[in-house]
Amino acid sequence: MYRFKNGKLAGWTMEHAMLRRTPLLYWIADWAKSVIPDKPHLRPLLREFKQLRRLLRDAPVRVGCQRKNCKLPVTRMSFQLDGVDRSLLPGALYWCDRHDPSQYPEWEEDERPVMPLQFNALREPGYGDKNSQKAIHLAVLEGLGIEKKPSRITEEFARRYFAKLSQ
């Protein structure tokens, strides 16, 4: 278990940070990857980060497809865009591989970016602003059936959640 020693996440475990402060953790991992040649002590951070990402990618999704009576597993999510700054608005819609918003006239009016239902969507180009990152983070938590309010996710909950996923 990797525990941060300094910075904004000092004292946090990697599991806790992965569920509660995901956008910041992705930024830290990107930074660590770029400085690895100079700072090899960051290798354990990246190793555990990749392992947790893999576990979350394969985690069971707890929401259903937006299309009524569809029983297929959800793989993607879409968001409305803010008309002013074009950031993603909270409140994702979830879609299976067979359905997406472009197939339905009622969704066609809005431009709705569709992205995978996983935290890697935080790296989608054009959505690096704070509001978009928060919307993606909350949507993935909801899709995985985790608490909607990240502030309620404790270190103990995160440890148990990842332990259950790794079984």
5 pLDDT above the threshold of 70: yes
Q: How far is CA 99 from CA 15, 25, 46, 77, 158, in A?
A: 32, 31, 35, 11, 32
Q: Is there a contact between 113 and 73 (Cβ–Cβ < 8 Å)? A: no
Q: What count of other Cβ atoms lies within 10 Å of the Cβ of residue 72?
A: 13
Give the pLDDT mean for 66-82: 90
**58 phi and psi angles, rounded to 5 deg:** -95, 5
Residue 152: partners with Cβ closer than 8 Å, 6 or more residues away = none
Q: Is there a contact between 159 and 15 (Cβ–Cβ < 8 Å)? A: yes
Write the pLDDT tens digit of every residue in 124-154: 888 989 999 999 999 999 999 997 778 889 9
**What pLDDT does residue 106 have?**
58
* Domain range annotation of the chain: 14-60+151-166, 74-143
Please, which pLDDT band fits residue 104 given cuts at 50, 70 and 90? low
Q: What count of other Cβ atoms lies within 10 Å of the Cβ of residue 20?
A: 24
**What pLDDT does residue 63 have?**
94
Q: In 111-158, at which residue ranges do the beta strands (DSSP E only) sit?
A: 114-116
Please, which pLDDT band fits residue 108 given cuts at 50, 70 and 90? low
Residue 105: partners with Cβ closer than 8 Å, 6 or more residues away = none
**What pLDDT does residue 82 have?**
85
Report helix, strand or coil for 81: strand
Query: What is the pairing mode between strands 74-78 and 93-96?
Result: antiparallel
109 pLDDT above the threshold of 60: no
